Structure 1
């Protein structure tokens, strides 16, 4: 509720005061006495219902005020109109009666408005009257105020039920909100505007009913499909609540919470960073690694190398040392920030041995159906993907939790959506590392077990699978890491060169982009890599790629220019008639004028090298 809004008691006092004024004037009228008497009866009836609402507001601990504010505002307008009309019927001079003419039509219009107010008040009381199945019960009638927009009355009823009703009604109403929110964006907007987010978050936070938590999370998920609505959830302090639920709930609830994290992070960078500050990445990685690492993997137990389980044990000890802080009462100034972050740590590293709060669900986790466990991992992997997307800091956090090793293992073992989500997370991390040297050096150093596992899986996907859906992100990841490979590490260049001739043009284009990152001037080893590309017979498929789509021509031409610049003395370039191709690249450079200078440099170098001038490398002079 906006801070400038009046207290609900103050809102209600105004129409009650108007009703008393109307009653007083009705007793004094000289004309249209019968009509004024009917006005008085309508006003008295509405006034009684307003007083009932006043009693409700003083006795109900939590009142959903949005509909009554709208209805009371409408009642006040109708009462003001009634007061004006009955005042015209008081005894006046002949001149005033001539100037101010009152007719039966005015009263008929007023009766319609007052009847509407009676209907609105009856509807409101039916929704909130616990003795008659209300207390948040879903109203089946349609209030006149919402006659032109039935969704509004449904939303009011559902939100009132979630906020004030009994648990079964709250769950039913949350599911109903989720359903209408899924229909269209207008419904989503109404739910947000009418204050639906706070009661949904409250239901999500209550761990007494997993069914209720799932219903609330589903409704929030359906709402959070654009930045404005995600920001509404963030502004209601929703992020810490979601992280808490993710850290200490049954598996099905965690699945929906992880999906909600993914959608909010996807649509709003503020939510993306808020989730990271609340330390959501650590429990996500831990849930993703559940039953992933097995004892028969010798690489995870070699002396001096930390497995995911050793990291778990280290952090469990750290958690014990800080338990006096994490188990303290909630900080009253910031009710969620520190305490919920600590609870996430506690769950993440204690569910394996049944200690702490997460242990409450240990048996349920072990006994869950395989498809439930799989869906949880799919949601967690998607959440990590969206958290890492475009964020160097989040990508770093994932690598610091040993998430790379977990992702590589799942890419190796799994298929379908889980494999794809893990691969896309790796792709986002490598994309961040491409432009951040610190992350690149920390996460992808050559002696890193996790980095080696990732590289091996990327290479396997490129070489062994025939799936563009997986090959394209794998190739993109290799290209992002081009600056990490030493000159002797040629095992990635060969497969990329082979894919320049792939029958799927998108795969071939992505291979050209990746090889361009090996051969570009920003790569310290561009000379060596360019020669290697030519040695792997990359020119013939590259020349064919130049006859493809606009995108393939663009990236193929860039790669060809780099090869000409950095390995211009190669006879293969002359045999492939690269110079003729570059001379005839006018059509591409017209569409992409930023390439004109690069092509001109490449042509100059080739003419120098292949016109008898081989003694030294000449520099292009524009």
Structure 2
């Protein structure tokens, strides 16, 4: 789940020239070593044939190193050159060549004492030959993966960690391979990333994100886009890795893929948006800046609203229409006006020909993406409400079932939570005279009263509680169903109802007195007392609500008859110790109740519910 954290420092992206310089520096030192070894071989007086063999092997390695330099600096330059395996292998080659140089130098003409104390044997050369042969094989392999296609063999360097070499091979094919090879390798990376977090980290550290984003950007092949989006989705399950996608300028590419791709691609891209927003608040913000919410709402509203994009946006203020025009102009400049008209807004024929199950899956993915974007984000919740998103979500909650209904409901719950903390959003999005707000409340109340699933009823109750300050006094249509849930057989449902009613009854609510009277009028006290026998959360919210009733309508006969004063006096001390704020609240409630029910207090009868 996304949590607010300190700003992330993006990693520095090297320019093409810097990458070229970097790889040349890496390869230049072993090339220089090869020249020094060649000169040292010419000066040898001992083991001349063995030294000559060392020289021959080093020449082969040197030629491969020079080929790598030419490959890195020619054609497409560093932008088309995958240098990660070269850095690893060049470091290993350098170590082996340094050992070879030391051995060859020992075979030069020296005085007798030096020869006595520096003994060279045939076994030393056999070790060096093996090391140089490994370097030859490593260089041959790393050059082969740059030739396109998938190389299934593994180099000697892979003996300690085969996974690293497989990742190198697959990523190199994304750079140099044909389209089908790229698709196959993206699928392989997706499979590896799905296996465990170590594989994910290797793929990211070995620069696998950038070629995957490039493949996603290529809209000539839906299969390639799906493979790339799936691999990125499997990688994006931590804030750090999501940050790497953002650093590689992935957000605009992902949004573009959502706007102008076929439906089956949009499903995968929407899933990617959802998981990135889930794990990274920065991704939430960046996606919003790239206007991802509008295409998500548009896709979610397929077959619900008229086809005209301006009608489908819903009733707008003058300011929002100006913003829409700016955003459409921005999209036009980015991908061309023909793309915007034919792909972004999805023409009628495409929608009619699409399979119903594909449409449903797309809506599920878009609803989840909106849920994750709205989670803990007031700006994103405002953006969703500024479109016709609330009306669309309410309609889908009414007509759909299963995962789509659940995702839409959870999106509404997050938007209402944002509205609870932001008065401007609450006043604009949930003004009870608006059609969208009325539709949302109607569906929430319907679920509270009719749904058999607690995983739908609980978020609906929570959402109503978040809107407590928007309802007028004596709002029986809302309060009565909530009071009825206090008697629900599922303690979690009953506890959530008590929590939501507490938001109606708390002193921060301007109409708290009227709402408290309504709760008592709807016979909420008896089930509330029974709730105090439940689990900790039920006890906590039940006790808080009971205190609010005592504070605001202390002279109520229902409270006196239920001996609420004694109940508060005998409240669970362990619960109060865990929640210190209860102590002062209970004291205030008891004081108010004592004013009206002093006779009950003098009896000192501790009520045990």
Asked if these proteins are the same fold (TM beyond 0.5), I'd say: yes
Q: Distance in 1 between matches of 2:359 and 2:458?
A: 28
Instruction: Give the structure 1 partner of residue 399 of structure 2.
Output: 413
- Note if 1:258 corresponds to 2:270: yes
Partner of 2:34: 19
Distance 1:125 1:322, change over 3 A: closer
| Residue in structure 1 matched with residue 546 of structure 2 by the alignment | 560
Match of 2:312 among 289, 308, 311: 308
Considering Cα pairs closer than 8 Å and 6+ residues apart, tell me whether 1 or 2 has the greater RCO.
2
1:545-584 paired onto structure 2 within 5 Å: 545-584=531-570
Cα–Cα, structure 1 residues 572 and 326, in superposed 2: closer, same or farther, change >3 Å? closer
2:199 aligned with 1:212, yes or no? no
Deviation for aligned residue 1:11: 2.5
Deviations 1:573-617 (A, max 9, x none): 11112112111113421332221111111112212211269xxxx
Equivalent residue, structure 2, for 1:227: 239
Counterpart of 1:67 in structure 2 is 85
Q: Determine the structure 2 residue equivalent to 1:38.
A: 53
Relative distance call for 1:225 and 1:525 in structure 2 (3 A) is same
Q: How many residues align?
A: 579
Give the 5 Å matches for 1:522-601: 522-585=508-571, 586-601=573-588
Alpha carbons of structure 1 residues 69 and 42: separation in structure 2 relative to 1, 3 Å: same
| Separation of aligned partners in 2, 1:49 and 1:294 | 63
Is 1:184 the counterpart of 2:203 in the alignment?
no
Asked if the contact 1:64–1:163 (Cα under 8 Å) also holds between the matched residues in 2, the reply is yes
How far apart are the structure 2 equivalents of 1:40 and 1:255? 58
CA contact (8 A) 1:255 1:375 kept: yes
Aligned to 2:354: 368
In structure 2, distance between residues paired with 1:112 and 1:321 = 65
The separation in 2 between residues aligned to 1:490 and 1:325, in whole angstroms, is 47
Q: 1:143 deviation in Å?
A: 1.0
In the TM superposition, 1:98-497 aligns within 5 A as 98-129=116-147, 135=148, 137-293=149-305, 308=312, 327-328=332-333, 339=334, 355-358=341-344, 363-497=349-483
Residue 530 of structure 1: how far off its partner (Å): 0.6
User: Do the aligned partners of 1:250 and 1:365 also contact (CA within 8 Å) in 2?
Assistant: no
Residues 173-201 of structure 1 show CA distances to partners (whole Å, capped at 9, x for unaligned) of 00010000000000000000000000000
Q: Matched residues in 1 for 2:436 and 2:456: separation?
A: 20
- Structure-2 residue corresponding to 1:303: none
Cross-structure match for 2:589: 602
Deviation (angstroms), 1:260: 0.6
Q: What secondary structure, in the 3-state scheme, does the structure 2 residue paired with 1:492 have?
A: helix
Structure 1 residue 82 corresponds to structure 2 residue 86: no
Consecutive unaligned residues of structure 2, counting only runs of 5 or more, are 1-11, 601-609
Rounded Cα–Cα distance in structure 2 between residues aligned with 1:325 and 1:476: 38
Determine the C-alpha separation between the residues in 1 that align with 2:398 and 2:22: 60
Contact kept? 1:288, 1:380, Cα under 8 Å: yes
* C-alpha distance in 1 between matches for 2:317 and 2:422: 30
* CA deviation after TM superposition for structure 1 residue 87, in Å: 0.6
SS in 1 for 2:255: helix
RMSD: 2.5
Q: Distance in 1 between matches of 2:72 and 2:326?
A: 47
* Length-normalised TM-score, structure 2: 0.90
Contact 1:251–1:365 (CA<8 Å) still a contact in 2? no
| Kept in 1: contact 2:474–2:515 (CA 8 A) | no
Alpha-carbon distance, 1:48 to partner = 2.3
- Where structure 1 has 5 or more consecutive residues not aligned to the other structure, the ranges are 130-134, 296-305, 329-338, 614-622
Q: Which residue of 2 aligns with 1:333?
A: none
